A and B are shown apart, each in its own frame.
Chain A
Amino acid sequence: MFSYIIRRLISAVILLLIVSAVTFGIFFLLPKLAGQSTDQLAQQYIGKAPTPADIAAVKKNLGLDKPVYEQYWDFLKGIFVGVDYKFGPEAAKCHVPCFGYSFKTHIEVWPEIQSRLPVTLSLAAGAAVLWVVSGVATGVLSALRPGSLFDRMAMGVALAGVSLPMFFTGALALALFTYQWPIFERSDYVPLMEDPFLWARTLVLPWVTLAFLYSALYARLTRAGMLETLSEDYIRTARAKGLRERKVVVRHGLRAALTPIITVFGMDLGLLLGGALITEQVFSLKGVGAFAVEAINANDLPNILGVTLLAAFFIVLCNLVVDVLYASVDPRVRLS
Chain B
Amino acid sequence: MTDLDKSGAAPGEPTPAAARPPSAFLEVRDLKVHFPTDDGIVKSVDGLTFSLEKGKTLGIVGESGSGKSVTSLAVMGLHRASRQQRSKVSMSGEIWLDGKELVSADPDEVRRLRGREMAMIFQDPLSALHPYYTVGQQIVEAYRVHHDVDKKTARRRAIEMLDRVGIPQPDKRVDDHPHQFSGGMRQRAMIAMALVNNPELLIADEPTTALDVTVQAQILDLIRDLQKEFGSAVIIITHDLGVVAELADDLLVMYGGRCVERGPAERVFYAPQHPYTWGLLGSMPRIDRDQTDRLIPVKGSPPSLINVPSGCAFNPRCPYADVPKDNATRTVRPELRQVDGGHYSACHMSQEERERIWTEEIAPKL
Q: Is the CB of A331 within 8 A of B76?
A: no
CB distance from A221 to the nearest CB of B (A): 18
Q: Is the CB of B179 within 8 A of A332?
A: yes
A233 to B120 alpha-carbon distance, docked (Å): 12
Q: Is the CB of B113 within 8 A of A242?
A: yes
CB distance from A175 to the nearest CB of B (A): 41
Q: Is the CB of A239 within 8 A of B131?
A: no
The residue on A at minimum CB distance from B110 is A242
CB contacts (< 8 Å) of B115 on chain A: these are 240-243
Q: Which of the candidate stretches A26-34, A141-149, A205-213 sits at the interface with the other chain?
A: A141-149
Q: Is the CB of A255 within 8 A of B84?
A: no
Q: Is the CB of A331 within 8 A of B177?
A: yes
Interface size, chain B (Cβ < 8 Å): 29
Q: Which residues, 230 to 258 on A, are CB-close (under 8 Å) to B?
A: 230-234, 236-245, 252, 255-256
A232 to B131 alpha-carbon distance, docked (Å): 11
- Could you say which interface size class chain A belongs to? 20 to 34
CB contacts (< 8 Å) of B84 on chain A: these are 145-147
- Answer whether A240 and B177 are a contact pair too, CB < 8 Å, given A233-B122, A233-B127, A234-B130: no
13 contacts between A and B (CB under 8 A): A233-B127, A234-B129, A234-B130, A234-B131, A236-B122, A237-B129, A241-B115, A241-B141, A242-B111, A242-B114, A242-B145, A245-B83, A331-B177
Using an 8 Å CB-CB cutoff, how does the interface string of A295-316 with B read, 1 for contact, 0 for none? 0000000000000000000000
Do most interface residues of chain A lie in helix, strand or loop, or is the interface mixed? Answer: helix
CB contacts (< 8 Å) of A39 on chain B: these are none
A239 to B81 alpha-carbon distance, docked (Å): 10
B119 beta carbon closer than 8 Å to chain A: yes
CB contacts (< 8 Å) of B48 on chain A: these are none
Q: Is the CB of B145 within 8 A of A241?
A: yes
Q: Which residues, 187 to 244 on A, are CB-close (under 8 Å) to B?
A: 230-234, 236-244
The residue on B at minimum CB distance from A255 is B132
The residue on B at minimum CB distance from A252 is B130
A256 to B127 alpha-carbon distance, docked (Å): 13
Q: Is the CB of A232 within 8 A of B127?
A: yes
Using an 8 Å CB-CB cutoff, how does the interface string of B94-137 with A read, 1 for contact, 0 for none? 00000000000000000111111001101010011111100000
Selected from B78, B113, B116, the residue in CB contact (under 8 A) with A236 is B78
B82 beta carbon closer than 8 Å to chain A: yes
A330 beta carbon closer than 8 Å to chain B: yes
A146 to B82 alpha-carbon distance, docked (Å): 10
B146 beta carbon closer than 8 Å to chain A: yes
CB distance from B344 to the nearest CB of A (A): 30
Q: Enumerate the 5 nearest inter-chain pairs by beta-carbon distance, A residue then B residue, closest first.
A: A242-B115, A242-B114, A233-B127, A241-B115, A234-B130
B260 beta carbon closer than 8 Å to chain A: no
Residues in A lying within 8 Å of B, measured CB to CB: 144-147, 230-234, 236-245, 252, 255-256, 329-332, 335
Selected from B82, B113, B132, B142, the residue in CB contact (under 8 A) with A230 is B82
Q: Which of B115, B122, B132, B177 counts the most A-chain CB atoms under 10 A from its CB?
A: B132
Q: Is the CB of A240 within 8 A of B114?
A: yes
A62 to B245 alpha-carbon distance, docked (Å): 88
CB distance from B127 to the nearest CB of A (A): 4
Q: Is the CB of B114 within 8 A of A329?
A: no
Q: Is the CB of B111 within 8 A of A237?
A: no
A113 to B127 alpha-carbon distance, docked (Å): 50
Selected from B131, B145, B177, B179, the residue in CB contact (under 8 A) with A243 is B145
A226 to B120 alpha-carbon distance, docked (Å): 24
Q: Is the CB of A240 within 8 A of B130?
A: no
CB contacts (< 8 Å) of A243 on chain B: these are 111, 115, 141, 145
CB contacts (< 8 Å) of A230 on chain B: these are 82
A236 to B82 alpha-carbon distance, docked (Å): 9
- Answer whether A242 and B177 are a contact pair too, CB < 8 Å, given A144-B83, A252-B130, A255-B132: no
The residue on A at minimum CB distance from B127 is A233
CB distance from A241 to the nearest CB of B (A): 4
The residue on B at minimum CB distance from A230 is B82
Given A237-B129, A239-B78, 16 extra CB contacts under 8 A: A146-B84, A232-B127, A233-B122, A233-B124, A233-B127, A236-B78, A236-B81, A237-B193, A241-B114, A241-B141, A241-B142, A242-B146, A243-B115, A256-B132, A329-B132, A331-B177
Q: Is the CB of A231 within 8 A of B81?
A: yes
CB contacts (< 8 Å) of A256 on chain B: these are 130-132
The residue on A at minimum CB distance from B120 is A240
Q: Is the CB of B131 within 8 A of A242?
A: no
- Answer whether A332 and B112 are a contact pair too, CB < 8 Å, given A240-B119, A242-B146: no
CB distance from B142 to the nearest CB of A (A): 4
